[in-house]
Amino acid sequence: MKLRHPSQAGMFYAGTDQALRAQIEKCFTHKLGPGKLPEIAERKLQTIIGLVCPHAGYMYSGPVAAHAYHDLAADGNPDTVVLFGPNHTGYGSALSLMKDGVWRTPLGDLEIDSVTANLILKESSVIDVDDSAHAYEHSIEVQLPFLQYLYGSTFKFVPICFLMQDLESCREVGRAVATALSGKNGLVIASSDMTHYEPHDRAEQKDMLATEAIVKMDEELYFSTVETHSISTCGYGPTVAAITASKLLSARKARLLCYKTSGDVTGDYASVVGYASISFAKA
């Protein structure tokens, strides 16, 4: 079975099991985080269908991401997680899925859900199988340790990397994933940071427009808001796909769990990156 080694361990997050667990716990207990460690409900997911989570280095966005994973833990345990991430490297096909193999992090190995991956491929004409897009990409990888901290290796996942992020292609991916996850104990996660390298106040103003559209679960409004206001979010395509899939999987309510910028962490508000955690749920 093919093995993808971690490309970001020791950079975006700590490189050893013990140090990484301690780092994740610090994200949960951080003053910008939930303020306490998660309590994991030993049951299938009850209401949460999708999440939007940031993907910067844990020292910057980890506490914001922890809000999403804290709520997820309280809701239950997924069997399959489909992870949407933007392609920062430029490698690989426009929409790239890895359909088999194992990804390794310092917390252990996670197996790709080949059955679900093949169902997604069957339902979509725009997704290619291309492992090269995933080799050095961080946006999906940084979500896995949080999931492993909560659930160990009890779940499988499917990674989909978005170099092409037009509205209709991303909607098609969302529809394909919804069909593949129908009737399953599944979860979709869009990995995305928000505005990049603008003053804090301007970044927050733009990002609130974007998050308002996401919370309305209106992917077309969200996409047009990003375009109209020149919002430099990197994962708008994954977010469109997550909104589309979540609605088809019976999500009826979205909630902004936390929004902060890198300035809230570093104290430098001159040029920041925005981070948001958002959930999509049945009720």
pLDDT digits (tens, 9 = 90+) for 119-132: 999 999 999 999 99
Structure tokens at 122: 């069957």
For residue 3, pLDDT over 90 is answered with yes
Backbone torsions φ then ψ of 281, nearest 5 degrees: -140, 165
Average pLDDT over residues 236-240: 98
For residue 70, pLDDT over 90 is answered with yes
Backbone torsions φ then ψ of 162, nearest 5 degrees: -110, 105
Mean pLDDT estimate for the chain:
98
Per-residue pLDDT band at 1 (split at 50, 70, 90): confident
Per-residue pLDDT band at 19 (split at 50, 70, 90): very high
Q: What is the CATH number of domain 3-281?
A: 3.40.830.10
For residue 283, pLDDT over 90 is answered with no
**Per-residue model confidence (pLDDT) at position 60:** 98
* Stated length of the chain: 283
Provide the whole-model pTM: 0.98
| Nearest residue to 66 (alpha-carbon basis) of 46, 108, 42, 36 | 36
